[in-house]
Amino acid sequence: MTRDAVRQRIQQIGIIPAVRTASAEDAQFAAEAVAEAGIPIVEITMTVPGALDLVAGLIAKNTHLVVGVGTVSDVVTARRAVDAGAHFVTSPGFDRNVVEAVRQADVLMMPGALTPTEVTAAWEARADLVKVFPCGPFGGASYFKSLIAPFPQVPFVASGGINQQTATDFVLAGALAIGVGKALVPPRAVKRRQADWIGELARRFVAIVRQARDLPLDE
């Protein structure tokens, strides 16, 4: 899958589920539950044990699924993520060397940023998308909107502390997509293997994004 195709899929769906679990088995269950419910995108964080082996397995087994690697903070890990076949790489903050390493591999790169200076640096480094993180604890949608206003050329993803109550505000504020973690993949649902619970939450988030974009739910 090309970098442009990955970007288009992220923009189309508008939701990036972030899976951060205590085991690879839990993460696989969560990723597949979300995909089956209509969100064919997943970010597996590097905090998951055996994350890269899981990523490679998910990609091999689910050709329709866009699989990214999150919480990547150094070049060595970034290159390992690319070698595992990751369709995109995200980081919690901005590191120019990480951005450049991923871009050189022609893989979509989404660094984190929280200030205008960091956004400028990330865009100058040729990031594909810029993830404002963590959105929730730092002013919410109002801060997000004021941060992105001076950067109309930059595609932004909102991430960190977003839930059903706040998702609409971030989409209306201008987010190309929202990153959602526990509000979409509750640890209890994963532990109990309740795919129906995760599926219901996935469908709710899909509906929220589509309604905020003023799109028909069945498109």
How would you write 39-75 as a 3-class SS string?
A: CCEEEEECCCCCHHHHHHHHHHHCCCCEEEEECCCCH
Q: Is residue 13 part of a domain?
A: yes
Structural domain includes residue 216 = no
| pLDDT score recorded for residue 50 | 97
Catalytic residue among 131, 182, 191, 200: 131
Residue 173 is part of a domain; what is its CATH number? 3.20.20.70
- Write down the catalytic residue from 36, 43, 100, 118: 43
Assigned domain for 102 exists: yes
Instruction: Identify the pLDDT of residue 215.
Output: 66
Compute φ and ψ for 201, nearest 5 degrees.
-65, -40
pLDDT at 78 over 80: yes
Averaged pLDDT for residues 37-66: 96
Domain assignment present for residue 96? The answer is yes
The pLDDT of residue 92 is above 90: yes
* Tens-digit pLDDT profile for residues 118-130: 999 999 999 999 9
Domain hosting 41: range is 3-211
* Positions of E strands within the chain: 15-19, 41-45, 66-70, 88-90, 108-110, 112-113, 130-132, 156-159, 177-180
Flag whether 218 is in a domain.
Answer: no
Using the predicted structure, report yes or no on whether residue 152 has a pLDDT greater than 50. yes
pLDDT at 219: 47
Which one has a higher pLDDT value, 47 or 138?
Answer: 47
Share of the chain above pLDDT 90, in %: 94
Is residue 197 in a domain?
yes
Kindly state whether residue 125 falls inside one of the protein's structural domains.
Answer: yes
**Which amino acid would we find at residue 8?**
Q
CA distance 105 to 128: 13
The total domain count for the chain is: 1
C-alpha closest to that of 110 among 83, 87, 141: 87
Residue 217 has pLDDT above 60, yes or no: no
Cβ neighbours for 29, distance < 8 A, ≥ 6 positions apart: 190, 193, 195
Within 13 Å and on the Cβ side, how many CA atoms surround 180? 35
What pLDDT shows up at residue 207?
A: 96
Instruction: Give the residue-averaged pLDDT of 144-161.
Output: 97
pLDDT tens string 98-110: 999 999 999 999 9
How does pLDDT run across 201-215, given as a tens digit for each residue?
A: 999 999 999 999 986
Torsion of CA 58, 90, 19, 37, to 10 degrees: -70
> Does the active-site annotation cover 200?
no
**199 assigned to some structural domain:** yes
Give the residue-averaged pLDDT of 187-201.
97
Residue 114 is which amino acid?
A: L
Rounded to 5 degrees, φ, ψ at 28 are -65, -45
Report the Cα 209 to chain-centroid distance in Å.
14
| pLDDT average, residue stretch 150-170 | 97
pLDDT score, position 216: 59
Q: How far apart are CA 133 and CA 156, in angstroms?
A: 10
Active site residue 131: yes
In which band, very low, low, confident or very high, does the pLDDT at 137 lie, cut at 50, 70 and 90? confident
Contacts of 63 (CB under 8 A, 6+ apart): none
175: tokens are 């987010």
